[in-house]
Amino acid sequence: MKADVETRPVSASAAAKARGDVLLSVDNVSLSFGGVRALRDVSFDIRKGEIRAIIGPNGAGKTSMLNVINGFYHPQGGIITFKGKRRHDMRPYLAASQGIARTFQNVALFRGMSTLDNIMTGRTLKMRRGILAQAIYWGASQREEIRHRKAVEHIIDFLEIKHIRKTPVGKLPYGLQKRVELGRALATEPELLLLDEPMAGMNLEEKQDMSRFILTVRDTFDTTIALIEHDMGVVMDLSDRIVVLDYGRKIADGTPGEVQRNQAVIDAYLGIPH
């Protein structure tokens, strides 16, 4: 699987994927905290099946954008359309039930729980048994638990974390925690997966592993991915299209090649002579 994924020319499928339908579109979204304008009239779209990167210098508003998409922040202006429907009054759990999953910049796992339980929480929305059935456990509730355990084991297998299945996640090294967090997001079977700096603080080998997982997730789990990342090598290799933010404004949007040649992007990253 590894060789297969890594030798596949990314750009070949990118062209095909980029023609997919629009899954999520953001139109003129503005967000401010008091006097700080975190996002100003940002518009872009994410198409089905693509890997969309959001990049920009520190404080550009990338994480705020993700927080708007999954309902933590409520933008003061603008329209967000997901799966063809305009969204109102978003809450994080509603976003989750509509198929948006997310990982965090600083790992946000449930530290007191094992890897397995962490990933099992991703199945919450799919579990239907009531309190009484769960209190009795044997019978319907147990069958449901086993059914979801099988799905979770599939993800554990895929992410190669079988050996830490029962380990409390607080004890795991950082790289593995990031992987468990990806697993937890995958367990919700999302249509749109938001990754906030999935490779922050990783060494080269861990980055390669994570890149491989991200590509495989897109191809085999049929998931659309939006990611924030600072490692430009990774961003340019992985993503189909890139949107660049700076001081809350969108300054560029396009394929990696286009963005790399864009003067505004170069200026934002390197500064301009005064």
Residues that bind other proteins (CB under 8 A): 70, 72, 91-93, 95-97, 101-102, 104, 108-113, 117, 120-125, 127, 129, 131, 134-137, 141-142, 144-146, 149-150, 153, 184, 188
Residue tagged 């729980």 (tokens): 113
In the complex, the smallest distance separating the C-beta of residue 102 from other proteins, rounded to whole angstroms, is: 5
Report the DSSP pairing between strands 224-228 and 51-55. parallel
In the complex, the smallest distance separating the C-beta of residue 110 from other proteins, rounded to whole angstroms, is: 4
Identity of the residue, 33 or 138, whose beta carbon is nearer to other proteins in the bound complex: 138
In the complex, the smallest distance separating the C-beta of residue 122 from other proteins, rounded to whole angstroms, is: 6
In the complex, the smallest distance separating the C-beta of residue 234 from other proteins, rounded to whole angstroms, is: 24
Identity of the residue, 30 or 142, whose beta carbon is nearer to other proteins in the bound complex: 142
Identity of the residue, 118 or 211, whose beta carbon is nearer to other proteins in the bound complex: 118
How long is the chain? Answer: 274
Identity of the residue, 37 or 129, whose beta carbon is nearer to other proteins in the bound complex: 129
Identity of the residue, 64 or 211, whose beta carbon is nearer to other proteins in the bound complex: 64
Q: How many CA atoms lie within 13 A of 211 on its CB side?
A: 25
In the complex, the smallest distance separating the C-beta of residue 148 from other proteins, rounded to whole angstroms, is: 8
Identity of the residue, 104 or 158, whose beta carbon is nearer to other proteins in the bound complex: 104
Quick one: CA dihedral 240, 270, 102, 209, positive or negative? positive
Identity of the residue, 28 or 124, whose beta carbon is nearer to other proteins in the bound complex: 124
In the complex, the smallest distance separating the C-beta of residue 173 from other proteins, rounded to whole angstroms, is: 19
In the complex, the smallest distance separating the C-beta of residue 124 from other proteins, rounded to whole angstroms, is: 5
Would you list the DSSP string of the chain? -HHHHHHS-HHHHHHHHTTSPEEEEEEEEEEEETTEEEEEEEEEEEETT-EEEEE-STTSSHHHHHHHHTTSS--SEEEEEETTEE--S--HHHHHHHTEEEE-SS----TTSBHHHHHHHTTGGG----HHHHHH-TTHHHHHHHHHHHHHHHHHHHTT-GGGTTSBGGGS-HHHHHHHHHHHHHHT--SEEEEESTTTT--HHHHHHHHHHHHHHHHHS--EEEEE-S-HHHHHHH-SEEEEEETTEEEEEE-HHHHHH-HHHHHHHH----
